[in-house]
Amino acid sequence: MQKSQLDKWIHGHHKESYQPPKVFVIGCSDLSQYLLAVEYKHKLEPIKIDEEPVHFESLDMVKEELHRLGVERAYLRLHNAYDEFGPDDGTPLYQDVELSLTTH
């Protein structure tokens, strides 16, 4: 999803039943960058600018961008790249943690 589309989705005219998009910050234990994604039709769509996924060097930079976009709630999705086989009980290979987006 293009960043401009997400911006229009968040700031467009909405019905009373409107639910804001669920935004994820994707982090992986072997990478030093973060990606933004939005849940759309039960799938995560990376946020892009000109077909390139948007990367951030720190969580602070991500939070600043989310604040600019008007996102009120986001989740940090952490993947463990070193867990080669994962658990046997079918639990997901990631963990979601709600980010605090309040500014001080």
Give pLDDT tens digits for 22-45. 999 988 666 678 999 999 888 999
In this prediction, residue 88 has a pLDDT band, given cuts at 50, 70 and 90, of low
Please report the pLDDT score of residue 75 as a whole number.
93
Compute the mean pLDDT over every residue in the chain, rounded to the nearest whole number. 83
pLDDT in tens, 39-74: 988 899 999 999 999 889 998 999 999 999 888 899
> How many helices (H) and strands (E) would you count in the chain?
2, 8
The DSSP H or E segment spanning 85 is none
CA pair distance 47, 95, nearest whole angstrom: 20
Place of tokens 């930079």: 61
Residues sharing a CB contact under 8 Å with residue 69, sequence separation 6 or more, in sequence order: 3, 6, 7, 10
What is the band of 100 on the pLDDT scale with cuts at 50, 70, 90? confident
pLDDT mean over 13-29: 82
- Cα–Cα distance for residue pair 85/62, rounded to 1 Å: 30
